[in-house]
Amino acid sequence: MSRWDVVIVGGGIVGTASALWLSRAGFKVLLLERWALGCGATAEGMGHIMAAVDSPDLAQLTAYSQSLWKELQPSMPADCEWRSTGTFWAALDSDEMTVAESLSKEYENLGLPAEIWSGSEARQHEPILGERIAGGLHAPDDAVIYTTNACRWLADMAVKEGAEIRFAEVSFVAKNLVGLKGGEQMTADHVVVCAGARSPDLIENLMVEPRRGHLVITDRVSTPVHRQIIELGYLRKSHGMEGSSVALNVQPRATGQLLIGSSREFQGWSREIDHKTVSEMMKLTINYMPELARVSAMRIWTGFRPSVPDGKPIIGEHSSGVWVNAGHEGLGITNAVGSASILTSLMTEKRPQITAKAFDAGRLIHGRSKG
Amino acid sequence: MEEAKVKLVLNSVEVTASTSMTVAALLLREGVPSRRSISGEDRSPVCSMGVCMECRVWVDGRKVRSCLVECREGMEVRTDG
């Protein structure tokens, strides 16, 4: 008999959320993390909990995940810094306003609120926006959290439900077996790899790779910004697979500073800052928010999203007894809870709350011809 | 480097300093906080090597880390942002 019902590899927000959901379903769970909880992609991103409505599969998953976060929010400790910022999708011209109109119908189909604003309404709500803004779409239900603390909180709740957490590096996974660096082995009915872009180190040919992004944190700005402000072209750019792209994504922090993204590049695991990319990001930002030309950037860093070629996460059984929940690209914070719920439904052979077929682990495996 | 006495303006008050001092050192000597946090707490230089960001002030209209800037004749330093 196995020592554990489930061993989860990876203590980022996807792994800790999975540990919580599986423990609540009655599984005896061990979570393995090699360094610290939430120290990888979880810590490197913006912590935006958003509905991504442009692709039907991600729209379902993000909307479902958002509803789960809203259920968790009343019991969330203050240090998770939940803020109901909403999102403003900014349009520069009438073509982009047409995109805003069609996106607003997608929100409506999902039962989520969204409102079209004219340029002057947008400037009234967000005075930092410049004259070039033609208007856009306001999605009030989106929120922001402090990711590493949220990750730790999910882990704490999992432990209260009976899960155990151990800090150790995994060297291999196999059916019913997990091997640690140093030689120790442990048995489990199910093994779940939640190691983000590092997952292919454990599962050969898994098509997840690191997609680098740059983030800039500014000094405090004098005009208050209330919402996360993203350009309307963002979803198209972020789901596309071209070599590199830059899209406006600005988040107000509680300190009055702005967190500015975003870029997407395939550069392996190189953390080096590409100043040309940062300069493109800043020019784009100033185009939308001219007064930021006079604000200092305090720090610039890079992080790595776990990226899958078709832009969708991998959630499900990869081979007998070996499961994957990884590849959430830039939506891992949002989708951690929804994907944990789907994973748990699949493992307990219940029908998931939303269809999980689009995220099937078999669809991308080299040599298989599914989908 | 030869040290010279200079006059500069700190929050509209003329003060004397030396070119061998950083602006952060001047702030510490004068007991002037470098900045105020969003919750209203006074902040002063901590690391004095450009990392902690607590010593940010305006120098001649530019926001700088005062620990990385030496005092110069005629400099205008403001700590109101």
SS3 content of chain A, % helix, strand, coil (to 5): 35, 30, 35
Q: Is the peptide bond before A262 cis (omega within 30 degrees of 0)?
A: yes
Percent of chain B with pLDDT over 90: 83
Q: Would you list the domain boundaries of chain B?
A: 5-78
Using one digit for the tens of pLDDT, what is the confidence trace for A123-166? 999 999 999 999 999 999 999 999 999 999 999 999 999 999 99
Q: What is the mean pLDDT of residues A114-129?
A: 98
Q: Give me the phi and psi of A323, to 5 degrees please.
A: -110, 160
Q: Which residues in chain A are contacts of B63 at CB distance < 8 A?
A: 219, 295-296
This complex has an ipTM of 0.72
Percent of chain A with pLDDT over 90: 86
* CB of B38 less than 8 A from some CB of A: yes
Q: Do A255 and B56 touch (CB under 8 A)?
A: no
The two most distant CA atoms of chain A are separated, in Å, by 67
Q: Do A254 and B38 touch (CB under 8 A)?
A: yes
Q: Which residues in chain B are contacts of A299 at CB distance < 8 A?
A: 53
Residue A263 CA, chain-centre distance (Å), reads: 15
Q: Do A219 and B56 touch (CB under 8 A)?
A: yes
A306 exposure class (CB count in 10 Å sphere: 0-12, 13-18, 19+):
buried
What is the token pair recorded at A67?
A: 């509803």
Topology of domain B5-78, per CATH?
A: Ubiquitin-like (UB roll) (3.10.20)
Using one digit for the tens of pLDDT, what is the confidence trace for A316-364? 999 999 999 999 999 999 999 999 999 999 999 888 888 899 999 888 7
Higher pLDDT, A234 or A136: A136
Residue A365: band (very low, low, confident or very high) from pLDDT cuts 50, 70, 90? low
Between CA B18 and CA A279 the distance in angstroms is 36
Using one digit for the tens of pLDDT, what is the confidence trace for A238-253? 766 667 899 999 999 9
Angle in degrees, CA A370, A192, A4, rounded to 5: 135
- Between chain A and chain B, the number of residue pairs with CB atoms below 8 A apart is 14
Q: Do A220 and B81 touch (CB under 8 A)?
A: yes
Q: Do B38 and A222 touch (CB under 8 A)?
A: no
What is the token pair recorded at A352?
A: 């998931």
- The single residue listed with the structure tokens 């740059």 is A214
| Least confident stretch, A16-20, A321-325, A364-368 | A364-368
Q: Do A220 and B53 touch (CB under 8 A)?
A: no
Using one digit for the tens of pLDDT, what is the confidence trace for B33-63? 999 988 899 999 999 999 999 999 999 998 8
Between CA A97 and CA A92 the distance in angstroms is 8
Using one digit for the tens of pLDDT, what is the confidence trace for A185-218? 999 999 999 999 999 999 998 999 999 999 999 9
Return the residue in B35, B63, B80 with the most chain A beta carbons within 10 A, the one to mutate for interface testing. B63
Is residue B66 classed as helix, strand or coil in its secondary structure? Answer: helix
**Integer distance in angstroms from the first to the last C-alpha of chain B?**
32
Is residue A109 classed as helix, strand or coil in its secondary structure? Answer: helix
pLDDT of residue A286: 97
Between CA A53 and CA A206 the distance in angstroms is 26
8 A C-beta contact, residue A216 and residue A282: yes
Between CA A50 and CA A61 the distance in angstroms is 11
Q: Taking the alpha carbons of A156, A327, A24, A141 in that order, is the dihedral positive or negative? A: positive
Q: Which residues in chain B are contacts of A256 at CB distance < 8 A?
A: 38
Scanning A236-265 for CB atoms below 8 A from B yields 254-256
All structural domains of chain A, each given as residue ranges with its CATH number in brackets, are: 4-47+147-207+310-364 (3.50.50.60), 87-140+209-307 (3.30.9.10)
pLDDT of residue A369: 43
8 A C-beta contact, residue A340 and residue A13: no
Q: Do B53 and A296 touch (CB under 8 A)?
A: no
